[in-house]
Structure 1
Amino acid sequence: MISGHRISGSQGFTLLEVMVALAVVAIGLGAVISEASRNISNASLLEEKTLAHWVATNKVVEMQVSSEWPRAGERKGDVEMAGRDWYWRTIVIDTMDERVKRIDVEVRTAADSERPTARVIAYLGQPS
């Protein structure tokens, strides 16, 4: 006996439905990739700023532990940290109190860079 079930036409998605679904997926993936790229760029920038700040802080600490009282003026140099070259500049400034010096430290990723990657200002007191 043949049952009354009818075999319908082909089942599945039409080409148009598949194309629309692929377009939606492509747009979504594009946004995800763009955001991931932005996050990687931000992480790289934060790493650079953190390392530059460490270089600047190290220069301040070197001056703090040195037995030599710094003279007013500018000094420049370079140092390697984390496999990179960093270019620092210190400016020692006399203050109203002759026992206190202001120390400005700027760190750059390139010797000819106009903007510093990090800047630290510290005050150094002359030991008694």
Structure 2
Amino acid sequence: MTATSNKRKSRGFTMIEVLVALAIIAVALAASMRAVGNLASSEADLHRRLLAGWSADNVLAELRLAHAWPSLGVTQFDCSEGNLVLMCTQSVSTTPNPLFRRVQISVTAPGHKGNLAQLMTMFDDETSRSL
């Protein structure tokens, strides 16, 4: 072997090879950071929806425990849960059977588009029931 061939083998990486490797690492890190950001955003949305579901369920439970015939119409009220500000819309409508009413609870958050939770149930007229 000559001295020239020994120099070529021990030369190492070129600047282009190092830059390509750094670019690949940078793209992989950027993708990882985006995935972590999406995961955190999804977790926050899931937390909001969970609290909204609990809030809607609480409203329906309160109506059931009141043993009162719900009045027809739409009402909107604060139903905040935990540290999250929520607005509930209660819609009571008739059904083909006059002994039942349809009650729907929709939960929204100010500044948030769409419903975070929505529950519907039927109430019977306990006052007209014969024992």
TM > 0.5 between the two? Answer: yes
TM-score (norm 2): 0.80
Q: 1:114 to 1:39 in 2, by over 3 A?
A: closer
Unaligned runs of 5+ in 2: none
- Once the two structures are superposed, residues 84-114 of structure 1 have per-residue CA deviations (whole angstroms, 9 ceiling, x without a partner) of 111001011122223211001111101x866
1:20 aligns with 20
1:108 aligns with 108
Aligned AA (2:28): G
- Once the two structures are superposed, residues 47-76 of structure 1 have per-residue CA deviations (whole angstroms, 9 ceiling, x without a partner) of 212211111111111111113221111221
Q: What secondary structure, in the 3-state scheme, does the structure 2 residue paired with 1:76 have?
A: strand
1:121 aligns with 120
Aligned length: 124
Q: 1:82 to 1:71 in 2, by over 3 A?
A: same
Aligned AA (2:125): Q
2:61 aligns with 61
TM-score (norm 1): 0.82
1 CA distance for matches of 2:33 and 2:112? 31
Query: 1:41-60 counterparts in 2 under 5 A?
Result: 41-60=41-60
Unaligned runs of 5+ in 1: 1-5
- Give the Å deviation of 1:20: 1.2
2:98 aligns with 98
Q: Superposition RMSD on alpha carbons, in Å?
A: 2.4
Q: What secondary structure, in the 3-state scheme, does the structure 1 residue paired with 2:80 have?
A: strand
Work out the percentage of aligned pairs sharing the same amino acid.
25
2 CA distance for matches of 1:114 and 1:34? 23
1:35 aligns with 2:35: yes
Q: What secondary structure, in the 3-state scheme, does the structure 2 residue paired with 1:81 have?
A: coil
